[in-house]
Structure 1
Amino acid sequence: MKHQATPYFTFNGNAGEALDYYKQIFHGEVINLQTFGEADFETPEEMDQRVMHAQFKKDALFFMVSDSFTDQNVKTGSNIALVLECESTDEIQTYYDRLKNDGNVLMELQDTFWGATYAKVKDPYGITWDLNYTKEQ
């Protein structure tokens, strides 16, 4: 793996507001913000201004955020996933296979429009793992 697991927070439509709050608290910066409306796939119009993905950084503090894509109510405590940045297709496949064996696949391992191979799996203990391998350009 490239580095330590990265926290990923999910919000009910107020990720932008939360990012503004974290900027005030930590004096950090929001980087790589993309809305659902800017994504390269169909989304309902009411999702256009919601945050699909953003990163927050202040020195060594780093985390990612998004708004929930569905109408599901995100519950505090279940709104956090850990992102593993893998270093190869073999590595991401290995972790995916191991996690899905006893876990619940939330998103199949697949190539994405953002240039990565990605999967989301909830393990038997309720921890959600986002597996990501960014392909070389």
Structure 2
Amino acid sequence: MSIQSAIPYFHLNGRVERAIALYQRVLGARTETLQRFGDVDGSCPAAMKSRVMHAELRVGSALLMMVNSTPGAKAGARQS
């Protein structure tokens, strides 16, 4: 069995909007989904409400996914 495709999921600390703008400008990416923490959980802390919980960008036939990780989270650290 060989891997035919993969979908990268970028965990960015508060920089999803900047990454989206860059990929749109440089790669011609199209935002297909953008959901914020406050859209899903109105009781989340105010600092989290505007952070991106999940974003999907289409670049040609490829799909890229992104999230703004929780403030203070270390890369690769598991969130409980």
TM range (shorter): 0.7 to 0.9
Structure 2 distance, partners of 1:51, 1:45, is 13
| Structure 2 counterpart of 1:45 | 46
Bigger radius of gyration: 1
Partner of 2:6: 5
Question: Percent sequence identity over matched residues?
Answer: 29
* Segments ≥4 residues shifted beyond 4 Å: none
Letter in 2 for 1:25: V
Structure 2 length-normalised TM: 0.78
Structure 1: 5+ residue stretches without partners: 79-105, 109-137
1:20 aligns to what?
Answer: 21
Amino acid at match of 1:13: G
- Higher relative contact order structure (alpha carbons within 8 Å, sequence separation ≥ 6): 2
- Which has more strand, going by share of residues? 1
Aligned residues: 76
Pairwise mapping of residues 1-137 of structure 1 onto structure 2 (< 5 A)? 4-40=5-41, 42-74=43-75, 78=76, 106=78
